[in-house]
Amino acid sequence: MQINPTLHSRSAEAHPNLLNFRSRLSSYFFSLSPLLRVAQTLETAMGSDRWRPNLPAKGRAPLRLAAAAAVAAGIAAAAAAAAADPELSASDPGENLRIAVDGVVRSSRAIYTIAFITVDYKYSLRSLPPDSREYRVKLSEVHFRSAMKLLKLCEANRGFYVKAGQFVSSLRQVPKEYSSTLSSLQDQATPYHFKGIKGVIERNLGKELSDVFLVFDEKPIAAASIAQVHRGLLKDNQEVAIKVQYPGLEQQMKIDISTMTILSKFERILSEFERAMSLELDFLQEAKNSERAARLFSKNKIVKIPHVFRDLTTRQVLTMQFCHGHKVDDLDFLRDEGINPKKVAEALMKLFAEMIFVHGFLHGDPHPGNILVSPKGRGGFSLVLLDHGIYRELDEMFRLKYCELWKALILLDSQKILRLGEEFGVGKYAKYFPVIFTGRTIESKSVLGDHMSSEEKTRLKHDLRALRMDDISSFMESLPEDFLSILRTDGLLRSIVGKLGAPRHVRLLAYAKYAIYGLDKQSSSESGPVKHVVSTIRTNMSYLRLRILVEFLAFVSQANDLRNMHVKRLKRLVHEFMNFFYKNFLHQATIVGGIR
């Protein structure tokens, strides 16, 4: 590998430990087999032939070259990360070398996987007309094959790759083969050894564990990709949860993000992901987010946010009140406690609708593990909101436009939807907003929340077939970053509400209600007492109109459910009668026939 001597000299002057680190890292890798042998090993290690297409020989040659380049790129990324964080290198060069070597392996694996996927698309779809049925079938096969490759990559690399995979799977705009495959990723990790965790806590708090905690459970109650959580008891007998960040994570993130930047076509989405991860690694910021959210929902008796112990919280250690509860989608637990899952879904949607439309301060990672249901008496409950590392502060103008958009979506005001699309910067793609958010086309005549008609489905399929990958890329790139955050959160919420068995109108009604409240918030702040009263009456009338519309949808939905329930019950009664008839009358007839 050639290194620019001028650049090398300048970097060494800026960071005295970098020259020694680079030489150790380079000697480690150049003591291995030649790079092309590494490439061949990577190709074999990427998994079963089951997910590998039959590529011609000239299609495989670029893969080995890509893997060879991956090793070199990984070394460069590791060196760059060391240059950015020389203190870590100086304090623990052995650990720093381990992290860097791991980064090279992870980067090499990622670059090889993406090269393989690129070649697969190129050779599998060549010579096929894009509008043909054969092309669509083959495209779906390549999507699935590629999604499986990415799944294996995320599972092998763990850490930020798991986070990235979950981020992609929550976006409704990606092909279903990707979203369904990557949704199986679990943000779990093998717990870090306690000696390392203890060292992080004592360095950050400046005290021995025994000086702070009466009891500290060495076995973590949860371990994820960036931190693990331990249970403890303070000297004053308060039960706490201690979230501890793994050592060397910031350096690992720099290496992984550098690799993803090389590979990703969607720069905006990657930028949003990097921003989110940087915030999630700062536990002081998480503490601020938690305290702000607690203030905003202090009057909400259903929402509970754990108290943060500020004097025991740093960038890498977060100490908070321990709250009991079960995951929000644990149906067995809800049933045992007599808690109505639909009521839980309603409370959850109202909580996040208020965050989006009224406060413009949005929790960015509402997966089931971050939302607990805590029983309060028979049938009562509170929602415990955890993990406040990722929040999005929505731009005020965006918040107001988004309120207007949802009002237009409920009323299916196509002209306003298209106008707001222009203001959001998505242009012609605004016509897909109703499909993305409400499941209707922009020309739909169907009842809100009802399924699309056959004619609508046919028209939509025709439009989607005409879309190219460049169109999807342009659409995603044109969306404001606030929009991307909301889409991801909305996707996670839909999944939870679906598991809870709540009807679709629960989400629509919550969004309609708080979109109107969000618009009223703006007008109230700009008017005097009299105008405020008039504005409130107008807002309530507007909401009443939307509520009647959505409640009519709920009535139609319930009527259909009731009809289906009666049909099922009638079928069951007929089935039971027939069983009774065969078991008794025919049995008696057989006995009588035998006697005769």
Confidence of residue 493 (pLDDT cuts 50, 70, 90): very high
Name which residue leads in pLDDT, 17 or 552.
Answer: 552
pLDDT one-digit tens code per residue, 289-344: 999 999 999 999 999 999 999 999 999 999 999 999 999 999 999 999 999 999 99
Instruction: Write the DSSP string, 466-526.
Output: H--HHHHHHHHHHS-HHHHHHHHHHHHHHHHHHHTT--THHHHHHHHHHHHHHHHHHHHHT
Give the whole-angstrom CA distance, residue 282 versus residue 441. Answer: 42
Residue 292 pLDDT: 97
Known catalytic residues? 365
Residue 10 pLDDT: 40
Residue 157 pLDDT: 81
What is the average pLDDT across 95-107? 70
pLDDT one-digit tens code per residue, 514-561: 998 898 776 555 555 666 566 566 666 666 666 676 666 656 656 665
**Helix, strand or coil, per DSSP, at residue 241:** strand
Question: Any idea which residue has 């109108």 for tokens?
Answer: 505
Give the whole-angstrom CA distance, residue 184 versus residue 188. Answer: 12
Give the whole-angstrom CA distance, residue 424 versus residue 401. Answer: 8
Structural tokens at position 428: 């012609």
Give the whole-angstrom CA distance, residue 69 versus residue 115. Answer: 11
pLDDT one-digit tens code per residue, 37-93: 444 444 444 444 444 455 555 444 554 445 555 555 555 555 555 554 444 444 455
As a whole number of angstroms, the longest Cα–Cα distance in the chain is 111
- Top mean pLDDT of 101-110, 288-297, 471-480 is at 288-297
Give whole-number Cα distances, 447 to 69, 441, 451, 552, in Å: 55, 11, 8, 9
Confidence of residue 7 (pLDDT cuts 50, 70, 90): very low
Residue whose C-alpha is closest to residue 224's, from 182, 185, 269: 185
Average pLDDT taken over every residue of the chain: 76
pLDDT one-digit tens code per residue, 156-186: 887 778 877 877 776 666 788 888 888 777 6
Give the whole-angstrom CA distance, residue 286 versus residue 290. Answer: 6
Query: At 23, which helix (H) or strand (E)?
Result: helix 16-30
pLDDT one-digit tens code per residue, 402-449: 999 998 988 888 899 999 999 998 888 888 888 888 877 777 766 565
pLDDT tops 70 at residue 372: yes
Residue 16 pLDDT: 44
pLDDT tops 50 at residue 22: no
Confidence of residue 23 (pLDDT cuts 50, 70, 90): very low
What is the average pLDDT across 114-128? 87
From the CA atom positions of the chain, what is the Rg in Å?
28
Name which residue leads in pLDDT, 252 or 285.
Answer: 285
Residue 355 pLDDT: 97
Q: Please calculate the CA angle 404-405-406 and round it to the nearest 5 degrees.
A: 95
Confidence of residue 512 (pLDDT cuts 50, 70, 90): confident
Instruction: Report the percentage of the chain scoring pLDDT > 70.
Output: 63
Q: Please list the residues that pair with 222 across neighbouring strands.
A: 229
Query: Rounded to 5 degrees, what are φ and ψ at 121?
Result: -60, -45
Residue 383 pLDDT: 97
Task: Report the Cα 301 to chain-centroid distance in Å.
Answer: 27
Residue 9 pLDDT: 39
Residue 427 pLDDT: 84
